[in-house]
Structure 1
Amino acid sequence: MVKWATVKQPATDEDIKRIEGFVGQKLPKDYVEWVKVYQGSIPGVYINVDGEPYTFDQLLSVSKEEGDTEDSNHIMGAFREMYLTDDSDPSLPKGFVPFALDGQNKWYCFDYRESNESPSIVLINWEAHYEDGPDYVVTYIRESFRELIDSLFYPST
């Protein structure tokens, strides 16, 4: 079982509402309860995807302290990078909301393309272009945030 460190500044309901308004999606309830305690945590764990260990490095921040910027370690900063900057891939379909990093230029995202109520979890390779290889850019991970959390493990020593 993965041990998560609680953070100094828990996320608030206001933080969650601000992000939901910005990304245009309601965040899953199990995720919301998790990030209220563990936002920004760096567990240093893995998840098995089709026999391959994928790193799960860091939950993105939900709240921010006065004066902090919403950079790529914050949900809103990562979302901006995905969709709202000059470097964004214009062919990436709408419906992805980043919530974690893998440490290798990929974002774990909620995938709302099939369901606004219960998004699945995918990994987005943001250095690739969707139009060149959708299957390379988007990797299915799990059906829900709870399944993802329950599947995480520490690397063997």
Structure 2
Amino acid sequence: MVNWVERREKLSAENFAEVEKILGVRLPQDYIDWFQQYNAIENRNAHILIDDEPYHFDEFYDLDEIPEEVEAWFEDDEELKETNLLVPFGFDSALNPYCFYYGQKKEHPIIIWFSSDEAISELFNGAELNLDLVRYVRPTFTEFINDLYVRTDY
């Protein structure tokens, strides 16, 4: 079981609204509800199974880091940002991001993972994810959180 570090002070809805305004999308409500209360993993040894393989999860981005990361990824390709928006919320120990993928619909994002060695433009085949480079993680943030576990087999 993963133990979470609670925030000393709950984040306000305004904190999230500011990020949403910058990004032009609504963050998932389950993410907002959870992230208002918690901000870290107690032991940083969390994993999640993706295609029956354990993937490490290390840490969450601070809210103010999220727009900066999105801007850096898409600075040379605003059109790609419009059709395939990725919003990172966390990363593993190698800084590979876990992201909300909005695609063209701009609502109800899924969660994906990809290697930080890949160029953002390579993650897509037109308006579709390049599933050779991107890993589908979970359909919702709640499922992501619930499926994290502390790996003890190594």
TM-score (norm 1): 0.79
Q: Which runs of 5+ in 2 are unaligned?
A: 125-129
Aligned-pair Cα RMSD in Å = 2.5
Instruction: State the 4+ residue runs in structure 1 displaced beyond 6 angstroms.
Output: none
**What is residue 68 of structure 2 aligned with on the other side?**
77
The partner residue of 2:152 within 130, 144, 156 is 156
User: Which deviations, in whole Å up to 9, do the C-alpha atoms of 1:58-113 show, x marking residues without a partner?
Assistant: 11112xxxxxxx5xxx21222222223x6x8x967632111111121311111111
Task: Please state if 1:128 is matched with 2:118.
Answer: yes
Contact 1:105 1:127 in 2 (8 A): no
**What is residue 60 of structure 1 aligned with on the other side?**
61
Report the count of equivalent residues: 144
Contact 1:95 1:111 in 2 (8 A): yes
Contact 2:100 2:109 in 1 (8 A): yes
Deviation, 1:137, is: 3.4
User: 1:7-156, aligned counterparts within 5 Å?
Assistant: 7-39=7-39, 41-43=40-42, 44=44, 45-62=46-63, 70=64, 74-84=65-75, 94-113=84-103, 115-129=105-119, 130-131=121-122, 134-156=130-152
Deviation, 1:152, is: 0.2
Contact 2:2 2:41 in 1 (8 A): no
In 2, Cα distance between equivalents of 1:145 and 1:7 = 19
In 2, Cα distance between equivalents of 1:25 and 1:16 = 11
Change (3 A) 1:139 1:125: same
SS of 2:47 mapped into structure 1 = strand
